[in-house]
Structure formats: C-alpha cells, structure tokens
C-alpha cells in the first residue's frame, strides 16, 4: 500500500516537472508568436558578436571604437534592363502551415487593408506638412514576393493571385493616388520595376524579405524620382560579398519561412544565397541604442556586422545589424544631403544603397522609435525623409506606429 502511495508521489513529482517545462516552452512560444507579428521583432538588449559599447551619450556623438571588415567576393553583374517577359511557373503548389510553397519559393497570403493604406498615407502626409517644403518626403512601400510570383498562377482554373494576393498591387496603386492628391509626398511605386526583374534574385525564396539586389533596383527608382545620381552595379562602385565559404561557394541560407512553414523539406533542400554589396570607398556606420541614444559601436567600411554563422535563419540581420539600433551612415559623399529613413526590416538592406546619394543617412525603425519623429528629422538637419517599409507594415497595424511617432 505504502509502495503504491510512493509511486503516486513520484508520478506527481515527475508530472510537476514536466508541467514546469511545458510552461516554460509555452512562454517561449508566445514570445515567438509575438515576434512574428512584427516581421522581425528584436529585443533591445542583445547584440551581434562584433558589438562594443561606450559611455557616449546623445545622438549623434562620435563613436568610440572602430571595427574593420574585410571585403571578399566577386564583382557582381546584373541585368539592369531585364526584358524577359514574365511567365508564371508551372511548378507544383502546396500549403505549408498557412504559407504557400510554389516549387521552391515560399510566400504569404496578403492581408493588408485599404483602410490601413489610407491611414498610412495620412500619417506620412502629416509628416510632410510638419516638415515643410524644404524637406523632401518619399514613400516606398515594398511589395511582398507574392504580389509578383502569384500573378497568373492558376490551379484548377483558380487564379491564386485573386484568391490569396489580397489585391496588393491595386492597394499600392491606391496609395499612389492618395499621395498624388496634393500631399507633397513623392510616392515611389517600385512594383513595376521589381516585376520587370522577376527572374533575378530580388526576393529570398526561404525568407519573407527582399534581397539587396531588389533594394538596388528600388533605389534606382528613388534616384530617378529624386534626381540624385546613383552608381550602377556594374560601375565598379560595388563589390558583392555575403555569407560565402573560402572557396567562394555560397553558404546555405535558410530563412525564417522554413520554421514558420513547419520545416518544409523543400526549403531546406533549396537554400538561398545571402549576399550584400560593399562600396569602394571609406565610410563608417555609427550604431546608437534606440532607447537611450548611447553610441554602441561603429563599423568601418561595412554596413553588415557579423552575424554568427550558426544562426542561419537570422542572417538577414546582417543588414545594418537588424532593427536593434538607430544607425548613422557617414557615407563620405560630399554633397551636404542628409536622409532619414523610417523603415521596418525591409529598409535595412535598402539604406546602404543610398550611399552615393547622401552625405549622411540615418535609419530609424518606426516600430520602436521613442522620440518625436519630426523633431528628430529637424535636429539632424534632414533634407530628405524616406519611409521604406513592406506592404504588410504599410497596410497592416504597423502603420499606426508612423502616426504615433509624430505625436510623441
């Protein structure tokens, strides 16, 4: 009898420990869900391996420590005038945990709304009104890959763009219309440009972000609209680099879609290549704590701090060290122009592409910014303000953060 009682006690004890573990795991899972909401939510207290800290305070103080980077890789050649007509793939389709996989490319259904698009354009227009005529304000809403690769994809007579595309392209045009209504904001619709380069690596297939090649093409649109000269990729101004092995082969980048698709094997078997572009002149990037304004570190001649190779799904964080910080790129371009880029994670690989067009480029993640955005632009002497964000942010609840930061 006593033995049975003891067995029961032991069982209860073991069950208690199991429950403690499960509770801990559930906490992790909840945080994981929360982080998914913001595309790439990042806690404020953790940094990459190359981090250094200093006691410096207040933006934009000089940095205290310089980190060198080595530039590797081959020069890149791209097709600046791709003319291959778009052809939808005939590869098989599968659902994976609420995502769509066509062939080896994973995509999300688009759920942005016209209402949020309206609010987004309103908040950006309010920034323009506050900043006045002396400051140019631009809006660049970056479409998701589904807006391109779902086009004309038909299965059993059903058009998948119409079913899952959420009218993304039409909503982007709607934003253009709103900005054209006397707001003074220049709307940069990069959809057609990206669509033209559909057969190049402008989006990752295993991650929801675009690549820096896509960002380069988008920056060309900005260059045309703003009248600022931008170096071409084949001009020798850029050097392609990224996560490569010593023999020059690409390391396998398996982005965040892999986990959120429930570990779809086809994504693991067909990894992406994570690349970026270095620039052929001296420049520095200062990183400030987004909450305290303290200088954290400075990188020299690279916008891409080291991210541990083991953290494969997080390699996109290489671009300006993700969303952790406020960054200031001291480009070395001597034209007196200062850009402030209010962005989500899509802006991280775009901002370096402004290198040849501005003397100083600030990047601020509007989701976490705690200061008044208009006062910030004025304090740094901004000549141009860009809003660079994914269509999910512009047409989802994230757009409210753009309105809020003006009111702080």
Partner 1 sequence: MKKLYIINIVAIALVAIAVISYRAFLPPTTGAAGGGYENRNVVTIEEFNAKNWFNGSFTDSVTKCFTDTLPRRNDLIDAVTKIKSFYGEEIEWGIKPIDLTEPDKKNDIKPDNPNNVFDPLENMN
Footprint on residues 333-352 left by partner 1 (CB under 8 A) = 345
Tell me if 12 contacts partner 1 by CB under 8 A: no
Tell me if 4 contacts partner 1 by CB under 8 A: no
Tell me if 150 contacts partner 1 by CB under 8 A: no
Q: Which stretch binds partner 1 (CB under 8 A): 26-34, 71-79, 189-197, 298-306?
A: 26-34
Footprint on residues 56-85 left by partner 1 (CB under 8 A) = none
Tell me if 9 contacts partner 1 by CB under 8 A: yes
Q: Shortest gap between Cβ of 232 and partner 1 (angstroms)? A: 31
Single out the residue of 220, 194, 209, 185 nearest to residue 86, CA to CA.
Answer: 194
* CA–CA dist 252, 254 (Å, integer): 6
Q: Shortest gap between Cβ of 285 and partner 1 (angstroms)? A: 18
Footprint on residues 243-262 left by partner 1 (CB under 8 A) = 254, 256, 258-260, 262
* CA–CA dist 196, 211 (Å, integer): 15
H or E element, residue 29: helix 2-37
Reading the block at residue 267, the tokens are 């994504």
Tell me if 19 contacts partner 1 by CB under 8 A: no
Residue closer to partner 1, measured from CB, 94 or 199: 94
- For helices 168-179 and 114-131, what crossing angle results, to 10°? 30
CB neighbour list of residue 208: distance below 8 Å, 6 or more residues apart: 39, 108, 144, 145, 255, 256, 257, 390
Q: Which stretch binds partner 1 (CB under 8 A): 79-87, 94-102, 217-225, 233-241?
A: 94-102
Strands 338-343 and 360-365: parallel
Reading the block at residue 398, the tokens are 């994230």
Footprint on residues 99-128 left by partner 1 (CB under 8 A) = 99-100, 109-115, 118-119, 121-123
Could you give the 3-state DSSP secondary structure of residue 13?
helix
Quick one: which of 135, 141, 178, 188 contacts partner 1 (CB under 8 A)? 178
The CA angle 400-401-407, to the nearest 5 degrees, is 95
Quick one: which of 68, 83, 85, 95 contacts partner 1 (CB under 8 A)? 95
CB neighbour list of residue 399: distance below 8 Å, 6 or more residues apart: 116, 117, 119, 120, 123, 393
CB neighbour list of residue 17: distance below 8 Å, 6 or more residues apart: none
Q: Shortest gap between Cβ of 21 and partner 1 (angstroms)? A: 6
* CA–CA dist 302, 238 (Å, integer): 12
Quick one: which of 47, 243, 337, 343 contacts partner 1 (CB under 8 A)? 47
Q: Which stretch binds partner 1 (CB under 8 A): 74-82, 150-158, 232-240, 305-313?
A: 305-313
**How many of the chain's residues bind partner 1 (CB under 8 A)?**
76
Footprint on residues 389-408 left by partner 1 (CB under 8 A) = 395, 400, 403-404, 407
> 385 and 340 in contact (C-beta within 8 Å)?
yes
Tell me if 312 contacts partner 1 by CB under 8 A: yes
Tell me if 35 contacts partner 1 by CB under 8 A: yes
């Amino acid at each position: 009898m006593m033995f049975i009682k003891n067995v029961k006690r032991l069982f209860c004890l073991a069950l208690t420990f199991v429950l403690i573990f499960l509770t801990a795991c559930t906490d992790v899972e909840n945080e994981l869900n929360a982080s998914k909401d913001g595309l790439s939510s990042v806690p404020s207290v953790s940094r990459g391996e190359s981090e250094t800290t200093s006691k410096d305070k207040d933006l934009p103080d000089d940095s205290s420590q310089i980190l060198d980077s080595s530039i590797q890789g081959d020069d890149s050649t791209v097709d600046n005038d791709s003319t291959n007509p778009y052809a939808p793939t005939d590869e098989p389709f599968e659902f994976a945990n609420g995502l769509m996989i066509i062939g080896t490319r994973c995509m999300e259904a688009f759920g942005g709304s016209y209402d949020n698009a309206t609010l987004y354009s309103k908040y950006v227009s309010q920034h323009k009104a506050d900043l006045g005529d002396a400051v140019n304000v631009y809006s660049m809403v970056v479409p998701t890959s589904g807006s391109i690769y779902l086009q004309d994809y038909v299965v059993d007579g059903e058009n998948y763009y119409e079913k899952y595309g959420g009218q993304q392209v039409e909503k982007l045009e709607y934003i253009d219309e709103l900005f054209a209504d006397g707001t003074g904001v220049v709307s940069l619709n990069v959809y057609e440009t990206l669509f033209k380069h559909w057969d190049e690596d402008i989006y990752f297939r295993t991650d929801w972000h675009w690549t820096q090649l896509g960002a380069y093409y988008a920056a060309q649109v900005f260059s045309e609209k703003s009248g600022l000269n931008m170096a071409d990729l084949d001009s020798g101004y850029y050097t392609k680099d990224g996560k490569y092995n010593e023999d020059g082969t690409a390391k396998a980048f398996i982005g965040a879609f892999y986990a959120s698709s429930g570990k779809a094997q086809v994504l693991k078997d067909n990894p992406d290549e994570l690349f970026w572009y270095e620039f052929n002149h001296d420049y520095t990037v200062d990183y400030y704590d987004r909450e305290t304004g303290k200088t954290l570190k400075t990188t020299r001649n690279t916008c891409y701090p080291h991210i541990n190779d083991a953290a494969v799904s997080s390699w996109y964080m290489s671009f300006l060290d993700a969303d952790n910080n406020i960054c200031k790129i001291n480009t070395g371009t001597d034209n007196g122009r200062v850009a402030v880029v209010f962005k989500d994670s899509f802006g991280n690989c775009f901002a370096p592409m402004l290198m040849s067009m501005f003397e100083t480029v600030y990047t601020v993640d509007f989701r976490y910014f705690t200061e008044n955005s208009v006062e910030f632009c004025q304090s740094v002497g901004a000549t141009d303000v860009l809003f660079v964000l994914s269509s999910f942010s512009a047409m989802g609840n994230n757009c409210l953060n753009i309105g809020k930061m003006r009111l702080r």
